[in-house]
Structures are given as structure tokens and as C-alpha cells.
Amino acid sequence: MALFEHVQEPAVSPRPEVWAHVSDEDWNSWRWQLANRLNSVDDLARIINLTPEEIEGLQAQDMFRVDITPYFASLLDPNDPYCPIRRQVLPLGREKQAFTGMMEDSLAEDQHSPVPGLVHRYPDRVLMLLTTQCASYCRYCTRSRIVGDPGVTFSKAEFEQQLDYLRQTPQVRDVLLSGGDPLAVAPRILEYILSSLRAIDHIEIIRIGSRVPVFLPQRVTPELVEMLRQYHPLWMNVHINHAKEITPELSQALARLADAGLPLGNQSVLLAGVNDSVDIQTELSHKLVRNRVRPYYLYQCDLVEGSGHFRTTIAKGIEIIEGMRGHTSGYAIPTYVVDAPGGGGKVPVGPQYIISQAPGKVVLRNYEGFISTYIEPDDYDPHMIEHLDRQVSKPREEPGQRGVSGLLRGEALTIKPAGFDDAHRRRTEKHRLNLDTAKWQPHGIGLVNPSITDTGMYGKVDANVSEA
């Protein structure tokens, strides 16, 4: 049965001529693969016909690290410079071109790190960077400011700082291991981190974000998977951008992980010339779900140095989601997100489906353009749920992160940019009409939370500035 051939047969990808002499034992060894990575014009010219711009990229100084496992290199089309796999790992001269909006740390991760390597941006989850090393390096790496330097990675002392911070931060229930690639870390260290995290009661789930199954499926050995499954609930996100990456070797690695009970997701990056098309994304999604991988996020390419030529418009991402939603299974559709520059976190973006609204009616359109009306109940009582709501354990929250949901919960009426009140005072003294700040606060009549004394989420309205 052709449909399942990847899953059932221990098939292998064809190996280029230059590696014909390598024993199967070496080829299937992750240590051999790592030790024999390709990174120079000489290495790569042996397996593909390099273009002048690729040669320029490989010879350039001060460029982000190049290193490609022989296995992944064997997937490059030797004669097609537009090969989507080739574009992900082979540098081009144009990587050096600056572009408007380019930054070193476009997600302001270092600014949101309470200790080195730990990014705490959201209330209940953190990103924990275990290493700066990867099995191979993606040209559009969002963390190229720290990733790839063979001399600099995180130390044991820094792991201890990260773990200490987590022990003291009970609102964190989800820890996302990333890097670099957490599966590129020595197995003993990875296990030390996993067991240390598991020893922290309030950490409910651990996630691993890894591209090792893609670059180095040989690393996903039965022993590694056996170790990982000791630390459930453990989830894993892989990073596959194009269906051509899903080889028999990767399928087998994914099957091992899924069989060990790790729920698998995929995060891909929308890349010009690699996967910026509805059909390519749909094919990728279909192949992912056949391998028990749920498409999770499709990222808009970050504003990071080196990635200029990979960027698409956001409109392209919206067009892709338009081409998928309704046309294929809901679980095959990723959420398209823009990771907001400056550290705003992931913002989901997609087509609009609400056409219009009136009291009691919502007008919706579907993927076919069929327009329909949902009649809302006129006797819906949102307070009916309150006694059940009180029985639910409340999240361990940090102050100041309720955001727009906080407005809906009635905890505040406005969210103001820093300096808003000062700016609107127009440098004037308080006068008789604006001394009484209670005027622009609700009287509390009929509010869910009548105790609002503060109309702004981030900082009190300074009612008492009136030393004047």
C-alpha cells in the first residue's frame, strides 16, 4: 500500500555517490553524522553544483554559522538552486543585505530574560534555552545573535540559575526547552534538566522544540526515546518547512516519538521561495498528519539579520490560511502567527470571517463565500456559570498580565500606553474641572466587579498629583 510505505518499511533516502563508501553503521550513527558535517565550498561542491551566489555566501566572513549533516545534505537537489531544502541551509551572498526594520534580537528576548537563557514573556510558561548548538543551522534563525558560536553556550551555573528561578516562580506551569537545539545537548545533561524540572511540583508540562529529528533523525534512537518517555507529560514540536523534508528516516523518528506517547506538533516558518504557497503548505500539512504530527504554528519570518530575502508579506500568510481553512481538515491547519517585534509575543493573524453584527445577529461567511446569519439567544445569562466557576482552581497569576481579557473580566476599563496620563495633562496644572478623577470612573452600578477604582490596567490614574 503506497500510502503507508513511509511508515511501515525501513526505507532509506538515496545516498549521494561521495558517501557510497561509508558503512551503514557509520551513516546511521548520529556521532558520525555530527562529526562529518559540511560547511565549506569544498565540502559542498562535492555533492552539489554550487551557484556563484552560494559560493559567495559560503566564503563570506561574519556570516551566521554553516553546518549541514551529511544526511540532510543528501536531500539537497544538486542541480536546482531553488531546491527548498537547499535554501534553508545554504547561505547566499544576499544574507548580508540590510533591510528596513532589521534587528539583532527582534523579539527582545534578552530584555525579557530574568536570568540568562530563560525567556519569561507569558504569565504561565517560559522558554528555557539549553544550548546555542544545533545539528545543522537554518539560515533564517531567529536566535542567530546567540546560536551557532561554538565557543559560547550555557554553563552548568546558568542552568542552576534557570532552575532556581523556576523553583521560585510558581505561576510557571509549562516549560519549553529550546536553544539552539535541546536534543543536541549531551544526553546526561538533558536528562539532568528534565529530572530537575520534573522535581518542581508546579511545572505541569515540559515541551521540547527540536529540529534534530529533521536534521539528524539518527539521533532519535530507541534509547533516547526511552529516556524521554520517563518525563511525561512531555510534548514535542518539530520544525519542518517543506514536505520534501519528510523522508523515510524522519518518518521513522516521528513514529518512535509518537509511539512513546509524545504528542507531536510542527512549527514552520513562512519562507519566500521555500513554502510560500497554499499548495505547498497543504501538502506539508497532509504529510505531517499522516505522520501523527499536528501543524501547530506557521510563523511570519522575524525581522532578524540575514533573513531579509526570506520575508514575505503578511498578506501571503493570510492567503495561505484562506486556502486551507474549510478546504482541508481543521487539525491540518496551523495557526498563522506574527511574533510581534519588540517582545509582544505571538499574535494570530488570519482572514476575517465575521461580515457584520447587530444585536442578536452575527453575519458570517465561510470559505466558499457563503454568507449566513447566526441568531444569538436573547435570554443568555453569563452569570449562570458562576457557581461552577468558583469551584475551578484559579491560575497562579502574575499581576499586570490580564490584558484585554482583564477588560472583559471587568478588572479595568482601559489599557494605557506608558506616559498616557502625563501626555494628556498637556503640561498644565490641575484645575477645577479635572481635580475630581472619580468623574471618569464608573459608579459601580451593575458592574461584575463594582470595586474598580482604577480605570487603567497598568498603573493607577494618579488622582492625587494635585500638589498644585
Ligand X SMILES: *Cc1c(COP(=O)(O)O)cnc(C)c1O
Q: Are 318 and 336 in contact (CB under 8 A)?
A: yes
Contact string 309-348 vs ligand X (x = CB under 6 A) = -------------------------------------x--
- The residues, ordered by sequence, that sit 6+ positions from 70 with a Cβ below 8 Å of its Cβ are 19, 22, 27, 33, 36, 37, 38
Of 176, 177, 304, 412, the one binding ligand X (CB under 6 A) is: 176
Q: How far apart are CA 232 and CA 220, in angstroms?
A: 17
Buried b (16+ CB within 10 A) or exposed e, 160-185: ebbbebbbebebbeebbbbbbbbbbb
Which is catalytic among the residues 346, 365, 402, 416?
346
Is 379 considered catalytic here?
no
Contact string 135-174 vs ligand X (x = CB under 6 A) = ----------------------------------------
Residues forming a β-bridge with 118: 115, 128
Q: Are 208 and 235 in contact (CB under 8 A)?
A: yes
Residue 340 is classified by DSSP as E
Shortest reach from residue 334's CB to ligand X, in Å: 12
Which is catalytic among the residues 143, 145, 256, 287?
143
Shortest reach from residue 397's CB to ligand X, in Å: 16
| SS3 label, residue 71 | helix
Q: How far apart are CA 290 and CA 292, in angstroms?
A: 5
Is 122 considered catalytic here?
yes
Which is catalytic among the residues 37, 71, 86, 134?
134
The sign of the dihedral angle between the CA atoms of 377, 409, 421, 463 is: positive
Chain positions 344 to 363 lying near ligand X, rule: CB under 6 A, are 346
Q: Which is nearer to ligand X, 125 or 211 (CB)?
A: 125
Q: Which is nearer to ligand X, 37 or 121 (CB)?
A: 121
Which is catalytic among the residues 71, 87, 141, 287?
141
Terminal-residue alpha carbon distance, the chain: 84
Is 301 considered catalytic here?
no
Which is catalytic among the residues 37, 87, 125, 207?
125
Which is catalytic among the residues 96, 122, 229, 421?
122
Buried b (16+ CB within 10 A) or exposed e, 366-402: eeeeeeeeeeeeeeeeeeeeeeeeeeeeeeeeeeeeb
Q: Which is nearer to ligand X, 50 or 176 (CB)?
A: 176
Is 339 considered catalytic here?
yes
Q: Are 371 and 383 in contact (CB under 8 A)?
A: no
Q: How far apart are CA 291 and CA 2, in angstroms?
A: 14
Q: Which is nearer to ligand X, 119 or 253 (CB)?
A: 119
Q: How far apart are CA 424 and CA 105, in angstroms?
A: 32
Interface with ligand X, residue 235, by CB under 6 A:
no
Contact string 103-142 vs ligand X (x = CB under 6 A) = ----------------x-xx--x-x---------------
Is 167 considered catalytic here?
no
Q: Which is nearer to ligand X, 126 or 461 (CB)?
A: 126
Task: Please give the residue ranges that form the binding site for ligand X (CB under 6 A).
Answer: 119, 121-122, 125, 127, 176, 346
Residues designated catalytic: 121-122, 125, 134, 138, 141, 143, 302, 339, 346
